[in-house]
Amino acid sequence: MTLAIERASGDAAAKPLVAQAVRQKKNERPSWEEPPTVVGEAAKGITLGGVVLVMLVPLWIIVVTSLSTQAAVNRAGGLVIWPDEITFEAYRVMLSDSTVRSALIVSLGITAVGTLVSMAVSVMCAYGLSRARSLGHRFFLMLLIITMFVNGGLIPTFLVVTGLGGYGQWWALILPSAVSVFNILILRSFYASTSVDLIEAARIDGAGDWRILWSIVLPTSRAVTAVMALFYGVGYWNSFFNVMLYMPTDSEKWPLQYVLLTYVNRGNGMPGSVNSGFGDQFSQTAPLALQMAVVVLTLVPLLIVYPFVQKHFRTGVLTGAIKG
């Protein structure tokens, strides 16, 4: 039995989308293709333009509103679409607010530690499984794959974590979801098909497995490593449900997403906004610009990392990663 995901990522690793490269190199219409109709081209342009706008316009409105003064928000009757009076006041207030500040630190901390743990564990596991003669690798592979189809589900997992004393503990936000079998299988198929000769040569020269992993396998698979780290990192950065399960009342341990949910999405008053210069008429709901600033804050780290990793999506890393 072979899984579709292994087949796909194995193929992708073996020939990193040569076909796509060939097709994309040619920026011109092949001579045998009939000339496009005006209507067809216009419809295509409008559709694709519309798709891009649907993605970007909401982000634009949110960013502009977060940069607006209260007066501009009042004039616009809510969200601000065209920049009117630009101010960084909302950001200043937000970063001086203890709730947001601690949430930012918590989020960054969980993301950093979680990604590190996940990557270490996954890379080691994938390397171990990629060496065909390693001890019991078929058995371990099955053990991994089974978890993709069968799991205890929400409540038994909750009972195990709380049974181990995880309630209110940081590790409860990281360890239960630290291993993604899916990511391991992608890494494994890359490791299995790249630099086989190099590895053999290194082994003859007396390098051990740790040395091979660190000096050969990792450097030769930077793209896939970067993409997997992004997947894990985004997972930790975005998670909020495990907070709801394991520390719903410890507001100083809340990460940014949970703050966003509580104060922006559900419109509860931000405790800090009472004495933050906006006056206590805002103690019920934080001003719109401030809310939008929190939204932007949750976006910023992603927008910083995304351009660096995103270019690897096209190099064939993900053809396998997305299947399954």
State which of positions 147-166 bind other proteins (CB under 8 A): 147, 149-161, 163-164
Q: What is the DSSP letter of 268?
A: P
By C-alpha distance, which of 286, 257, 250 is closest to 270? 286
Lay out the site mask for other proteins across 250-289 (x = CB under 8 A, - = otherwise).
Answer: -------xx-xx--xx------------------------
Q: Which two tokens stand for residue 168?
A: 């209110």
By C-alpha distance, which of 125, 118, 145, 129 is closest to 324? 145
Lay out the site mask for other proteins across 166-185 (x = CB under 8 A, - = otherwise).
Answer: ---------xxxxx-x--x-
CB of 261 to other proteins, least distance (A): 5
CB of 98 to other proteins, least distance (A): 21
Residue among 72, 93, 94, 129 that touches other proteins (CB under 8 A) = 129
Across the strands, what pairs with 86? 68
In whole angstroms, give the CA distance from residue 266 to residue 36. Answer: 50
Site residues for other proteins, 48-87, by CB under 8 A, read: 48, 51-52, 54-56, 58-59, 61-62, 76-79, 81
29 vs 92 by CB, closer to other proteins: 29
CB of 260 to other proteins, least distance (A): 5
CB of 297 to other proteins, least distance (A): 11
Q: Which two tokens stand for residue 213?
A: 């992993």
The reply on whether position 295 binds other proteins by CB under 8 A is yes
Query: What's the chain's length in residues?
Result: 324
In whole angstroms, give the CA distance from residue 311 to residue 314. Answer: 6
Across the strands, what pairs with 128? none
Q: What is the DSSP letter of 68?
A: B
By C-alpha distance, which of 218, 202, 201, 193 is closest to 131? 193
194 vs 291 by CB, closer to other proteins: 291
248 vs 275 by CB, closer to other proteins: 248
Site residues for other proteins, 86-115, by CB under 8 A, read: none
Site residues for other proteins, 233-252, by CB under 8 A, read: 234, 237-241, 244-245
Q: What crossing angle do the helices spanning 137-149 and 98-130 adopt, rounded to 10°?
A: 140
By C-alpha distance, which of 123, 319, 320, 80 is closest to 209? 123
Lay out the site mask for other proteins across 10-49 (x = CB under 8 A, - = otherwise).
Answer: --x----x-xx-xxx--xxxx-xxx---------x--xx-
142 vs 196 by CB, closer to other proteins: 142
CB of 205 to other proteins, least distance (A): 20
By C-alpha distance, which of 4, 2, 48 is closest to 319? 4
